[in-house]
Amino acid sequence: MIFFGKKEDSKKREIKENLGYKDLDIIEIPLEAVAAYWLSLKKVGGKNWKRIVEKEKSYTKEPFIKHILDLITSSFDEQKIRIYANYKKDTLLKEYNRKFVIISIGVLGIVNKENPQQILIRIMSKFPLPPASDIKIYKNAQSLIQQYEDKQDIFVDIYHGENSEILIKNLLFYVIVGRKYGIEKCLELSKNVRSNYFKEGLELINDGFDAEFIKYRLKLQQTEILYNTEQKMNMSIEMAIALKMNFSYDEMFKIAGSFFI
């Protein structure tokens, strides 16, 4: 990856350090960094951009960016690339929306000290088909609790990029911890969690806000996060197509400028 992969020269490492990101995540990375990513492909690759992009694909794990890289190295024309890129965008945004809803259900379950099994049923209603059986997920969450109570050193992450089964299991762990041991223990265990959305929800609970306010706050934040993510995806589509069509660096810079205030 140009910014975040294994092979970086000193200049790329400097860019990476300035951005403050260890890996590319379309939700977490700033809009400016997305623009810088595509501009760097143009600057490094020039007219031989395709060779650079082929290497980049082997490093990139971010699903939307990887899909765009696949599309522009295919034989598809501009119109088909835009169509298929937008299909992927819609699919991922719907999935991210569901992940944020699931996380917010978990946070509200903690503030209300709800029965974890009721939380699980509520979460499962968000899927057309459950990612796993209720019994399996609840049993695995209880296993994590047992490890914690046995004083084992465990880290239970919450992250929108995780598969649904693991995300739900981990959320139930925090719901159970919150119910049995309080919000302070949740905060202590979650300090290295990747989801800022989840951590901010816990902070609201710790600050004494009620469930209705927290629900309202999380919904507003979810809307803004997804809108911002869609803008970064739209920018990526247009800049990737410009790269394929051999636009100049300055022309690509102008495209990026269309997405800034």
Residue at 1 is within a domain: no
Give the model's confidence band at 1: pLDDT under 50 very low, under 70 low, under 90 confident, else very high.
very low
Task: Examine the domain organization and report whether 234 and 213 are in the same domain.
Answer: no
Task: Examine the domain organization and report whether 161 and 69 are in the same domain.
Answer: no
| Distance separating alpha carbons of residues 50 and 109, to the nearest angstrom | 48
Residue at 20 is within a domain: yes
The pLDDT of residue 3 is: 38
Task: Examine the domain organization and report whether 128 and 187 are in the same domain.
Answer: yes
| Distance separating alpha carbons of residues 261 and 30, to the nearest angstrom | 14
The pLDDT of residue 46 is: 87
Residue at 5 is within a domain: no
In terms of DSSP H, where are the helices of 113-208? 116-124, 134-149, 164-181, 183-189, 196-206
Burial group, residue 116, by CB count within 10 angstroms (0-12, 13-18, 19+) = buried
Residue at 65 is within a domain: yes
Mean pLDDT of all residues belonging to the chain: 91
Find, among 135, 128, 129, the residue nearest to 120 by Cα. Answer: 135
Residue at 174 is within a domain: yes
Alpha carbons within 13 A on the beta-carbon side of 146: 6
Residue at 167 is within a domain: yes
Task: Examine the domain organization and report whether 70 and 169 are in the same domain.
Answer: no
Please name the residue that has the structure tokens 């995806």.
Answer: 233
Task: Examine the domain organization and report whether 140 and 84 are in the same domain.
Answer: no
The pLDDT of residue 78 is: 97
Task: Examine the domain organization and report whether 125 and 140 are in the same domain.
Answer: yes
Alpha carbons within 13 A on the beta-carbon side of 54: 6
Task: Examine the domain organization and report whether 67 and 120 are in the same domain.
Answer: no
Task: Examine the domain organization and report whether 248 and 210 are in the same domain.
Answer: no
Task: Examine the domain organization and report whether 237 and 198 are in the same domain.
Answer: no
Task: Examine the domain organization and report whether 190 and 118 are in the same domain.
Answer: yes
| Distance separating alpha carbons of residues 103 and 158, to the nearest angstrom | 8
- Model confidence, pTM: 0.87
**Domain span holding position 235:** 10-92+224-257
Tokens of 105: 């259900």
Domains: count for the chain: 2
Asked if residue 139 has pLDDT above 80, the reply is yes
Contact 16, 6 (CB under 8 A): no
Residue at 4 is within a domain: no
* pLDDT tens digit sequence for 220-254: 999 999 999 999 999 999 999 999 999 999 999 99
Tokens of 149: 């109570």
Task: Examine the domain organization and report whether 17 and 71 are in the same domain.
Answer: yes
- Amino acid letter for position 241: I
* pLDDT tens digit sequence for 35-82: 999 999 999 988 889 999 999 998 899 999 999 999 999 999 999 999
Residue at 100 is within a domain: no
Beta strands in 16-126 (DSSP E): none
Task: Examine the domain organization and report whether 75 and 45 are in the same domain.
Answer: yes
